[in-house]
Each structure stands twice: as C-alpha cells, then as structure tokens.
Amino acid sequence: MPSSQLKTTKSTIVVAFGDSNTQGTNWKQNPAYAQSDKWVTKLQQTYGAVNGGIGGDTSVMGRARFQKDVVSKRPDAVTIMFGTNDAVIRANGQSRVSKAQFEQNIRYFTDTLKAKKVRVILMTTPPVVQGLYYKRYDENLYIRYKGARLWHDSYNAIVRKVAKEKKVTLIDNYQNMTKFAGGAADGKLIQSGLIDSSGTHLTPRGAEMIYQSVNRVLSK
C-alpha cells in the first residue's frame, strides 16, 4: 500500500524491527518497565503492530531474520532501529559490525521494502549516557573517537544519510532526545529520565517519546 494511502486501522500492519529498544527489554535495574509501557505495545492500540525487536541484535543478526520476521508479515510500514549493538567496540579495537557493513544492511532493508511498496521509517538510536555505559564497556576503547556517545552517533549518521538518499522517513531519536534533555551531556540525559541505568536502554518515558514520534508519522 503506498504511504500516501496508509490508513490508521487495526488492519494496517506495522512491523517494528530492531534490537532491545524496539523489543522493550527490561534492564535488570528497571523492573518497573511493564509490557504496557513498551512503545510497540502502545502502537498496537491503533495498528496491527508486530514487535520484531530482539535484544542484543546487530543489523547483521537482523538481516538473517529479515525475511521471516519482517517481509513475511506483508507489512504496510516498517520501523527500523539498529546501531546500539553494532557500534560496540570489542577488546581487539574492532566494532561488532563495521560501518561499511552496517550501511550495507540498512540499505538492504530499505531497498527491499521500497521495492515492495512498503513505507520505510528509519530511526536513529538514543544517545548514550557515557558514565553508565563505561560500567559495562571499556572507556579506553572509545577515547580515540571522543567518547562512546559520538562513536554511536556516527552510526546514526549513516542512518540519516541513507534516509536522505532513499527519500524515506527519518525519526531522529538521538536529536529528539538530546533536544528534550537540553543537551547531550550525561547529567542532562540522566535528568531527562529518557535513558535507564544501563546508559543505552529506554525508560518508560523514553519509550513514550518514541511512541509519540512513530504515531505522528504513521497518522499523517
């Protein structure tokens, strides 16, 4: 169905494709994150929304299940949000998924869906709270990139580029959240209440922001 004819009904199939921030995985220190707080669950109030998020997935892992978890659902629209796991730097100094491979995967998802006349909505990942992130990952590996937040956002830059080139909708969660927080500094991000104690996962408030963004785009 062409995007200009996308209807707001339960028969409209929207697949949310991504990692834990799409799945709505509960971080161990955030037990209050209920099923009803997940942004995909909220979409299900209006659409035939399918949660195709799997915690820990990279875009490579997503590509391996793309046909089964996305294409086979015959969606009208698909949201795509990968990058948080792709950008993790291993002890050998290499990222889990290189930027070149990441871009190739995002282009593959976009091109495949556009060819099927599916509306594509690319999304950037939330900003990293570095002080919390470094409790899990080695800060020294990110120094050459001026910190984990900018390194992760360099993957978001690829998403922005592909969205512009392919002329598909972009929801820039990174920019929306930093704007809401009043800046990208750790203190501001923590005070915003959008990111939980892991430094990368959404809180219910962060999930609500993404829900509102996606719902606005779909309802236009």
Residue 197 C-beta-side C-alpha neighbours within 13 Å: 8
Q: What pLDDT is recorded for position 1? A: 39
- State how many domains the chain has: 1
CB 125 within 8 A of CB 162: no
Query: What's the CATH number where 72 sits?
Result: 3.40.50.1110
Neighbour count for residue 75 (Cβ, 10 Å): 25
Q: Would you state the pLDDT for residue 169?
A: 98
Range of the domain at 190: 3-219
Q: Which residues pair with 81 in a beta bridge?
A: 18
- Structure confidence at residue 8 (pLDDT): 54
- pLDDT, one tens digit per residue, over 86-112 is 999 999 999 999 999 999 999 999 999
Residue stretches of the chain with pLDDT short of 50: 1-5
Strand order in the sheet with 119-123: 48-53, 13-18, 77-81, 119-123, 169-171
Whole-structure pTM value:
0.94
